[in-house]
Amino acid sequence: MQTLEELYWHLLKQGADGKPLAVGGDADPKLIGCLIHPEDKPLIWRVKPCLCPPDSPRDCQTACEWDAVALGDEGVVIDDEKCVGCQACVDACKLDALKTSKEIIPVVQELREYDGPVYALVAPAISGQFGKDVTMGKLRTALKCLGFTGMLEVAVFADILTLKEALEFDKNIRDETQFQLTSCCCPMWIAMIKKLYHQLLPNVPGSVSPMIAGGRTVKRLHPTAKTVFIGPCLAKKAEKKESDLVGAIDYVLTYQELSDLFSVSNIDLASLPEDKVPHASEAGIGYAYAGGVSEAVSRMVGQLNPHRSVTIQTRRADGVPECKAMINDILAGNHGGNFFEGMGCKGGCVGGPRAIISKEEGKKQVQAYGKEALYKTPAENPYVIELLKELGFSTVEEFLENSRLYDRDMDT
């Protein structure tokens, strides 16, 4: 019987070649279903029997910070309602019985069969992931070769959300006792607050992530479009399923999944021509690494109101233990700041579990790309205003006052 990995490569190659998906009669229907219809399955798949001793703690259960791993009659069961996609259980399983969700095969089918536009939305951490010589312009060309209608950098929506959070900070933080929790871009951080520290939700601006903002914008401008987010994070696959966010993003791919598709499609990325359409500021691009969000918002607050009596004081944490420690400090009254950034992965998104290169190299590549940006901050970026005008708003302030497009309901 074919393993999940064997089935995966077999079906992916068929899809990339434009052939009907077909497998041998000895293939496990459950595994086929996971690959062809991942939307019906949890984020974590158990592909082998659990052979851990029943009377001892399971490594996967111990590793889970969210109480999402339970024991069923046939082994461990993942509670998709509790799972945030951190994949700690997968990493802890010594028997390799747990695998993460893959959505690349249905995406390939959409690219071949869907008669409407399909847009790729790439996370800011993508710089350097496919090689130092593979520029953003070459990636755009490559994605169009695969069948995507176009590629958008999610960093431009980080620009808009930087303005949003800076304006909200300037409006709401009026004395030394008030503070704001941020990093809407990290679903693990937001999940931690919602699930474990619900009392702090009033301090979280109700902003969607740049991924969701991008998806909603594309669908507002192109109602029949399919949206595919591409990043280093499994947790984004959980985020798109949240009840108040459903519909913005149709599929979430990891960089590894995209790399696999490039491989079976025999695309030589480095040799492709440039299709360079830079839209984001250096600040928006910096969302990819720890500290980038707080740096962007801090700079923006200073530009909006340089004479504030209560200045912005940032504090950040990356990695789940450090984020918990920072929140516990806040609850104990040891603030040490009034603007708090949390990232679930060490190093931020460049340290995501499905990044291809190291977090150190990833940060270096992102910073190099950021230095090439034509604009340093969102306030200097004319594409932000151009995009908002397409949505029917003449200024950022008008958009934020009259549009709920980038708001979310944190209580759902």
**Which two tokens mark 172?**
């709401």
Contact 363, 288 (CB under 8 A): yes
Tokens coding 366: 């992102």
- Residue 58's contacts (CB-CB under 8 Å, 6 or more residues apart) are 50, 52, 69, 71, 76
Backbone φ and ψ of 316, nearest 5°: -135, 160
Q: CATH 3.40.950.10: does it fit domain 155-207+279-402?
A: yes
Look up the CATH number of domain 4-100.
3.30.70.20
Question: What does CATH list as the number for 105-154+213-271?
Answer: 3.40.50.1780
Cα–Cα distance, 300 to 106 (Å, whole number): 40
Residue 368's pLDDT is 96
Whether 100 and 45 have beta carbons less than 8 Å apart is answered as yes
Where in the chain is CATH 3.30.70.20? 4-100
pLDDT of the residue at 12: 96
The CATH 3.40.50.1780 portion of the chain extends over 105-154+213-271
Looking at residue 412, what is its pLDDT? 65
Strand ranges of the sheet holding 314-318, from the earlier edge strand across to the other edge: 180-182, 339-343, 314-318
Delimit the CATH 3.40.950.10 region(s) of the chain: 155-207+279-402
Helices vs strands, H then E, count in the chain = 17, 11
> β-strands 339-343, 314-318: how paired?
parallel
**Furthest-apart CA pair in the chain: how many Å?**
71
List of the chain residues with pLDDT < 50: none
Q: Are 279 and 390 in contact (CB under 8 A)?
A: no
Mention every residue, 6+ apart, whose C-beta is less than 8 A from residue 201.
Answer: 193, 194, 410, 411
What is the rounded distance in angstroms from the CA atom of residue 299 to the CA atom of residue 376?
10
Give the pLDDT score at 183. 61
| Locus of tokens 């006792």 | 177
